[in-house]
Amino acid sequence: MSKVERLTWGRNTVETACPLDCPDACSLGVRVENARVVAIDGSTRNPDTAGFICGKVRGFHERVYSEFRLKHPAVRTGPKGRGAFTRVSWDEALALVADRLRAARDTHGGESILPFYYGGSNGLLTQHTTDLDLFRRLGASRLLRTFCAAPSGAAADSLYGKMPGVAYEDYVHARLIIVWGANPPVSGIHLVPHIREAQKRGARLVVIDPRETNLARLADLHLPVRPGTDLAVALSMMNALFSSGRADEAFLDAHADGVEALRERAAEWSFERASAVSGIPAEALARLTDWYAETSPALIRCGWGLERNRNGGSAVAAVLALPAVAGKFGVRGGGYTLSNSASWGLQAEAWQDVAAPATRTVNMSRLGRVLLELTSPPIAALFVYNANPVATAPDQNRVVQGLSRDDLFTVVFDQVMTDTAAYADVVLPATTFLEHWDISRGYGSYALQLVKPVVEPEGEARPNGEVFSELAVRLGLRDEVETETETLMRVTGHLPEAQREPLLDGRLVEPPTGRTPIQFVDVFPNTPGRRIRLCDEQADEAAPEGLYGYQADPATDAYPLALISPATEKTISSTMGERHYVPASLYLHPGDAEARGIEDGDVVRVFNALGEVHCRAAVGPRIARGTVSLPKGLWRRHSLNERTSNALVPDHMSDLGAGACFNDARVEVVRVMAADLGGQHLGLWVSADESTRVN
């Protein structure tokens, strides 16, 4: 009996969990018939996700059985990017990969090898296990993982040592909820019922977002902030609190350092100045500050939309400083939520037999430049897994140019034929979370769960762990292949007994702090003396203008519009993009459209000095004037010229954490073709593009 038969024998609904890069970590019930997945839904094991999961994962079996699914290893036969491959055996493929990795190391040194991985499946077994072991033993360049959460993580670490945040279920206790640069109805749907319930109980809701999202429509106040200016908004609020005697000086004395530095830096920001920079009327800033000062419990849901720009680290730091300054901790339903991933205290990178070598670090968000410009040594071998950088990395044209290098050996290990896989020399087929073991860890919801294989792998797909382990053996770096279940046992061996047992038993595991910690009652800053560092020296030195130092808006006359690329309900980053055929549109404000003679449905060219995207325009009022939006996670085929927003995104770094600046592009838009003409001639558009709708 195979492992899957053992698990599913006698039943046809299997309990598992979702490990995708999403805050919610749903418990799943997967219905299997004749060894195939036929339906996926939320399981009652987790009351939060019972019968309530997103449409993407409800349809995830479409990916498992998709025509784009990679089922066999393959080697390239045509030019890079063409996507022409011929099938080979695993033995041939891994022999070739091992040979080329060895050759790169022997000729140019280990640092000429670059592992490239990010949000793929976000579980604890699909990354930082045998992959890290292999690349450490090879002495490869080390990847700085900065696509996401680098600026906010640096800020949260600097101020609070990544203190755990308020749980979703405690949102009902808040009287004021500020959703800041987050869009939970799309990107973390299980928070929404709790916000709605709080509203029913009389709580006020404020949304700070350049777009009028569906949540903003339900809010008492929506502040349509210009992208990259949240720092000014938060500092002006703190300035008003300090200067009107409404700061909680007693709390600050007792729990915080760096108060004076913050007070001085905030003092530069009157509501009027913040208004001029952010586009939000001064009265609205004053009203929000009054509400925040007067209401308790008050809660901030800080998202990731505000971190993806040059001011992102300081902006998140300033937002997180607000509850300290206004004295909002210490009550249920008060404080903040950012990422809760650190709450588990799980340090997979430390669970290795070999220490990290002192090799160079390479910032993933500059992949194009890394491939084209890095010397001593240049990158000779690139191993991409759990990532699709052609779709998700900044400066797409440079990335594509780098991947096109004839002297670069590229391996892409993925589940489907992605835009990046089209540039591979060797493609390796990976299992999905319905075909392998994993451990799912929520970064919004407090849930740690086992992910089980519920069907046999399609074709010859294999799990990450075994493939990296086999490569290590082939390269003479390890004696024996570690099987998937051996990796599972080894990794869970690092968990405290109280977590390991329920986890392996398929139960929902709570973090050490419990499921609903109150900040400054149950959990405290993980800093020396548990003190908040409002203006830590290290962060202050790292930021180009110092911590809380605002860097001016990069708009120019040539490129006046700010481009953002928020998450949509269709994909998780670019994952599941293969399911969607409708081309994307650029969403823009009627005022900006009219000024350019653009009408709804027209074909437009969105461009700046880095590149251009040709797509349709969707004109509507639900975005701040001066800001335009393209969906996150598009594949090349979703635009008319095979380019996406990332062709316009510069590869400069955020102020803290060296993070990617996806929402920091400035562009111009011109009309190329009228709607009716374009629709007819290109024969493409049968219906409005739903992914471009604001939601």
Ligand X SMILES: Nc1nc2c(c(=O)[nH]1)N[C@H]1C(S)=C(S)[C@@H](COP(=O)(O)OP(=O)(O)OC[C@H]3O[C@@H](n4cnc5c(=O)[nH]c(N)nc54)[C@H](O)[C@@H]3O)O[C@H]1N2
Site for ligand SF4, rule CB under 6 A: 18, 20, 22, 24-26, 53-54, 56-57, 189, 572
Strand-pair category, 561-564 with 204-208: unpaired
Binding residue for ligand X, selected from 363, 392, 487, 639, defined by CB under 6 A = 392
HSE-up (13 A, CA, CB side) for residue 621: 1
Of the two residues 40 and 370, which places its CB atom closer to ligand SF4 in the complex? 40
441 near ligand X (CB under 6 A):
no
Element (H, E) at 520: none
**Taking the complex as a whole, how short is the minimal distance between the CB of residue 451 and ligand X, in angstroms?**
10
Residues 371-390, one symbol each (x = binds ligand X by CB under 6 A, - = not), give --------------xxxxx-
- Long-range contact set of residues 91-96: C-beta below 8 Å, sequence gap at least 24: 93/426, 93/428, 94/467, 94/470, 94/471, 94/474, 95/474, 96/426
Closest alpha carbon to 175 in 190, 197, 207: 197
Q: How far apart are CA 578 and CA 432, in angstroms?
A: 15
- Subset of residues 236 to 295 that bind ligand X, contact rule: CB under 6 A: none
Q: What DSSP string runs through 6-40?
A: HHHTT-SEEEEE--BSSTT--EEEEEEETTEEEEE
Cβ 579 to ligand X shortest distance, Å: 12
Q: For 65, left (φ over 0), alpha (ψ -120 to 50), or beta?
A: alpha
Q: Does 464 bind ligand X (CB under 6 A)?
A: yes
Q: Under the criterion CB under 6 A, does residue 657 sit at the interface with ligand X?
A: no
What is the nearest approach in angstroms of Mo ion to the Cβ of residue 606?
Answer: 23
What residue 605 binds from Mo ion, ligand X, ligand SF4, none (CB within 5 to 8 A, per partner kind)?
none
Q: Which does 57 bind (CB under 5 to 8 A by kind): Mo ion, ligand X, ligand SF4, none?
A: ligand SF4
Say if strands 585-588 and 627-629 run parallel, antiparallel, or are unpaired: antiparallel
415 binds ligand X (CB under 6 A): yes
Q: Which does 392 bind (CB under 5 to 8 A by kind): ligand X, Mo ion, ligand SF4, none?
A: ligand X
Where in 567-596 is the site for ligand X (CB under 6 A)? 567, 569, 571-575
Helix or strand holding residue 67 (H, E): none
Selected from 98, 132, 148, 660, the binder of Mo ion by CB under 5 A is: 148
Closest alpha carbon to 365 in 20, 658, 565 = 658
- DSSP assignment of 381-420: EEEEES--HHHHSSSHHHHHHHHT-TT-EEEEEESB--TT
**54/148 with CB nearer Mo ion:** 148
Tokens of 78: 């045509």
**564 interface partner picked from ligand X, ligand SF4, Mo ion, none, CB below 5 to 8 A per type:** ligand X
Nearer to Mo ion, 237 or 393 (CB): 393
Q: Which residue has 């060219």 as its token pair?
A: 605
Residue 120 interaction partner, one of ligand X, ligand SF4, Mo ion, none, beta carbon < 5-8 Å per kind: ligand X
645 lies in the binding site for ligand X (CB under 6 A): yes
In the complex, what is the shortest distance from the CB of residue 67 to ligand X, in angstroms, rounded to a whole number?
15
Instruction: Check if the beta carbon of residue 449 is closer than 8 Å to that of residue 440.
Output: yes
Cβ closest to ligand SF4, residue 315 vs residue 508 = 508
Does residue 188 contact residue 23 with C-beta atoms inside 8 Å?
yes
Which is closer to ligand SF4, CB of 28 or CB of 240? 28
Q: Which lies closer to ligand X via its Cβ, residue 172 or residue 694?
A: 694
Element (H, E) at 327: none
Burial (Cβ within 10 Å: 0-12, 13-18, ≥19) of residue 545: middle
Task: Determine, following the binding rule CB under 6 A, whether residue 631 of this chain makes contact with ligand X.
Answer: no
Structure-token match 């709790």, residue found = 194
Residues that bind Mo ion (CB under 5 A): 148
Binding site for ligand X (CB under 6 A): 21-22, 118-121, 126, 147-148, 180-183, 186-188, 208-211, 213, 225, 227-228, 230, 303-306, 308-309, 385-389, 391-392, 413-416, 418, 430, 464, 564-567, 569, 571-575, 632-633, 645-646, 649, 662-663
